[in-house]
Chains A and B, each alone.
Chain A
Amino acid sequence: MGITLKYNVDGEDFTRAGEASGEIKKTLKKLGFPPETVRNVAIAVYEGEINMVIHADGGEITADLSEDEITVTLADKGPGIPDIDMAMKEGYSTAPENVRALGFGAGMGLPNIKKYSDGMDIESVVGQGTTIKLKFIPK
């Protein structure tokens, strides 16, 4: 198959967060990936997209699709994650209060991304940005 999808995520508009994830979900569904895989990708990428808007003023999402593997790269030029081990803990959050009022920032984003993916790799440099690579095996 070998399809690449690319989306720019607008960091200014919280109400539009999720558009890229929705498009990816729609495309995967149309291409006939199994429903569970489609949902896992959609949820993980959506959490990542929300993180980009909350923490990093937007970023770029790239999805590479093939029949036996889906890889998604979420790259931003945000503040970076000082302590990735802490950020991976359920309930640990650095999101400001206004984000919690919107229903996010419970400290579940990264743990959820890990839970729904078949492989997760985070590279982050404080002051430069974060890149998360996700792998999904269709099943």
Chain B
Amino acid sequence: MKVTEAVKLLEADVLCGDAGDVEICSACGSDMMSDVLAFVKEQACLLTGLVNPQVIRTAEMMDIKCVIFVRGKKPDEDILSLARAKDIVVLRTGMSMFSACGALYSGGLRGGKPA
């Protein structure tokens, strides 16, 4: 799935990065970064309600190219500039975690297998 399609499904705002370039093949939804780090899947996106720079760091280490903040949470400029530096697309949706995951799943995205 292209990130541009995820933007439509989630009625999301693109806060930084070029959504048109990025393809995602699976998704992981968690507020616990340790759990995200235990999950590896190629070209995954990360949905989270946690807002701090470690979300972007976690994405960086995992080669995650798209981070989606749920429940309308707004990352500050420090977080966005870190994401820009690491070439990570950041989206924000007003949907809850459950609804956002459901919308992407209905759109064809799957969770992938745990590592």
Contact = CB atoms under 8 A, between A and B. Distances in A.
Whether chains A and B associate is: yes
Interface of A: 14-15, 17-18, 21-22, 25, 35, 39, 42-43, 46-47, 50, 102-109, 111-112, 115
20 contacts: A15-B52, A17-B54, A18-B53, A21-B57, A22-B86, A25-B60, A43-B37, A43-B62, A46-B57, A46-B58, A103-B48, A103-B52, A103-B55, A103-B58, A104-B33, A104-B54, A106-B35, A108-B37, A112-B34, A115-B115
B63 A108 contact: no
Contacts of A104: 32-34, 54
Do most interface residues of chain A lie in helix, strand or loop, or is the interface mixed?
helix
B50 interface: yes
B33 A103 contact: yes
A21 B38 contact: no
A43 B61 contact: yes
A115 B61 contact: no
A108 B57 contact: no
Contacts of B62: 39, 43
Contacts of A18: 53-54, 57-58, 60-61
Nearest to B48: A103
A42 B34 contact: no
Interface of B: 31-35, 37-38, 40, 48, 50, 52-55, 57-58, 60-63, 78, 86, 115
A21 B57 CA distance: 9
A106 B32 contact: yes
A106 B54 contact: no
A22 B54 CA distance: 12
Interface centre among A17, A35, A103, A111 (most CB of B within 10 A): A103
A46 B104 CA distance: 29
A39 B86 CA distance: 14
Contacts of B60: 18, 22, 25, 42
Given A39-B63, A103-B48, A104-B33, 7 more contacts: A18-B58, A18-B60, A18-B61, A39-B62, A103-B32, A104-B32, A112-B34
B61 A108 contact: no
A35 B60 CA distance: 13
B46 to A, nearest CB: 11
A103 B60 CA distance: 15
